[in-house]
Structure 1
Amino acid sequence: MPFTFEDRTGDLHRSDFDDIYDRMFLRITPYPHVTSGNKNTLAVYVMGCRSTRRKDTRHLDRHPSVLLEFGETRPGLGTIYFTQSPSSSIPIPMHNYLRKTTFFGGSLSRKFRASDGREYKWQHKSIDGHEWTCLSAEGYMVAHYDLRPPSIAVYGVSGNTLTIHEAYSNLCVDILASLTIMRYIAEHGL
């Protein structure tokens, strides 16, 4: 059974991703402990339980799994940090982490190497019904992100979902981090 995360807000900069079967809960939010002065830093947290609809600050008690430090003064790619512990992190320039699939290809088709050592590719609107699609090197569907069409009314849920196939559930953090960068690239036309 795939992990189906409801993206509570659809907001690139601040949202909770709660699995509808309560197996995993992720949060992306501005990082409150920025030391470099760059206020354009987002953090991905693995949360212990479902988010609430009211202001929730539980992430402040946790160490982020990933930091995404985007361009400081103007929109641009910066650095991604995978943080294994509070005292260590591995910085990777985002343009090296998410590389274009072809030299002259568009920005909205990029590949990345996940924590399992394998390569995956994000594509924008390449498959009908999916805003973003993540494929394995062999062409298998790994994940997809879907935004609720504005014409469809929903009640009590956002209608935005990130679906990660169960075989790739160990990559949930990698997939959310790389998707966030891809959405940032699309939002800013990079």
Structure 2
Amino acid sequence: MSATKGLPYILEDRNGSLTATDFDDIYDRVFLRVAQAPQRSQHALSVIYDMGRRSASSRADDYRHFRYNPSVVMQFGLDGSLGTVTFMNPAVSMPMGKYLRRASFLGGSLSRKFMATDGQEYKWGNRIVEGQEWTCVSADNILVAHYNLKPPRKHAYGSSGNILTIYEEYSHLAMEILASLTIMRHIKKYNL
């Protein structure tokens, strides 16, 4: 596996939560929020917002995202089952099982691939590289992104210790990478 050159997005995942966290680049280039939408139907909705600025640590800032239009809407069943993923610009909606397909016929559910808007295929895998919780590679086995959770007993000074790294060549796919990672983490949590 080879890596790309350039300055990657290093997105600190504020709390490691699956449905209520901020992903802020340490160099202030991108600020994304994953939030659970209010329950109004028989589905659980997780939404990704492009926030445009770093969120404050105050509780009053927890609801600022409701003033923004969502970039991605992920609809799950209340039982945790996979539903649909909708990218808002351009508007494209599809079943999550079709969007994130198993990497191979006999492969496990924690190794899945997706077709991005750049027409290329990318694959997520869980713990396939030492020290990385999740790893995303291109069809050419180029490292695209990886996600690490802080080990439980390790102290992180001034940071959550949870990091999503997206390499510069793939920074235009940040929203898709975060959406697919969120779904992959959901698949693992619910053992789908």
Which TM-score bucket, shorter chain as reference? over 0.9
Query: Is there any run of 5+ residues in structure 1 with no aligned partner, and where?
Result: none
Partner of 2:89: 84
Q: Is the aligned partner of 1:93 residue 2:95?
A: yes
Cα deviation per residue 1:93-115 (whole Å; 9 max; x = unaligned)? 00000000111110000000111
The residue correspondences of 1:1-190 to structure 2 (distance < 5 A) are 1-32=7-38, 37-55=41-59, 56=61, 57-72=63-78, 74-84=79-89, 89-190=91-192
- Structure 1 moving runs of 4+ over 6 Å: none
Question: Aligned partner of 1:174: which letter?
Answer: E
Question: Aligned partner of 1:9: which letter?
Answer: N
Question: Aligned partner of 1:141: which letter?
Answer: L
Question: Aligned partner of 2:75: which letter?
Answer: E
Secondary structure, aligned partner of 1:175: helix
Question: Aligned partner of 2:87: which letter?
Answer: F
Q: 1: CA distance between counterparts of 2:169 and 2:115? A: 17
| Aligned-residue identity in percent | 51
Q: 2: CA distance between counterparts of 1:79 and 1:63? A: 18
Q: What TM-score do you get using the length of structure 2 for normalisation? A: 0.92
Number of aligned residue pairs? 184
Alpha-carbon offset, residue 39 of structure 1: 4.6
Alpha-carbon offset, residue 156 of structure 1: 2.5
Greater length-normalized contact order (CA 8 Å, ≥ 6 residues apart):
2
Q: 2: CA distance between counterparts of 1:129 and 1:67? A: 30
Partner of 2:3: none
Please say if residues 43 and 67 of structure 1, whose CA atoms lie closer than 8 Å, have aligned partners that are also in contact: yes
